[in-house]
Structure 1
Amino acid sequence: MYNNTRNKKQKSGGLGYLLAGAGAAAWWLSKEENRTKFDGWMSQAKKKLNSESSPSNEKFPVHKAGNPDPDDIDDNKMVEEGAQFAVDYYNKKEQ
């Protein structure tokens, strides 16, 4: 019985915080100066999100994924060792 009242209090407390935050935001946005600031912030955020959605070649770390070069000995060795590790692990599990 105690848990039910506790859960109800927690739910209504969260709703109270949400309503208080919405009220504070409405009060802050009631001034023209603050609305202008908010519009600027939102347009900057949109620009950042749109520019980061397509990574440039300089920022993108993987250039040769899926296209291994047969002449790249270090890369081939790494792939071989990785496969060997999986085979060893499987063999130990089976024994």
Structure 2
Amino acid sequence: MRKRDVLLSTSVAVGAVGASVLLKDKDKRAKVKETIMKGKDKLMDFRNQNEKSLPIEKAGKPDPQNIRDNKMVSEGSVYPVQYYNEHKQQ
């Protein structure tokens, strides 16, 4: 436990010193800010692309004519039953 605490505090200290040295110059500060903003924009674009590819329109509105899907939902999850049988009934 002590090793982890020492390593964590050392990492935080090195990060703080590195950040202060890096952000000391105004040009470097602007460059870091620009890089962070570009990364944020890329992350948001990636997130929006993934949201569009998900079948959200079907969520919460099961089609009554889709027999396979309705059967799967009515069966429910088998995992809780298996867990109960393995751990609780011993």
TM (normalized to structure 2)? Answer: 0.56
Name the % identity.
29
> Structure 1, unaligned stretches of length 5 or more?
1-5
Q: Which has the higher contact order (CA 8 A, sep 6+)?
A: 2
Structure 2 counterparts to residues 53-92 of structure 1, below 5 A:
56=51, 58-80=52-74, 82-83=75-76
CA 1:73–1:39: 2 relative to 1, 3 Å: same
TM (normalized to structure 1)? Answer: 0.54
In angstroms, what is the RMSD of aligned CA positions? Answer: 3.5
| Higher CA-based Rg | 1
Secondary structure of the corresponding residue to residue 63 of structure 1: helix
Of 22, 38, 44, the residue aligned with 2:32 is 38
How far 1:23 sits from its partner (Å)?
Answer: 0.7
Higher helix proportion (structure 1 or 2): 2
Aligned length: 81
Query: Aligned letter for 1:42?
Result: I
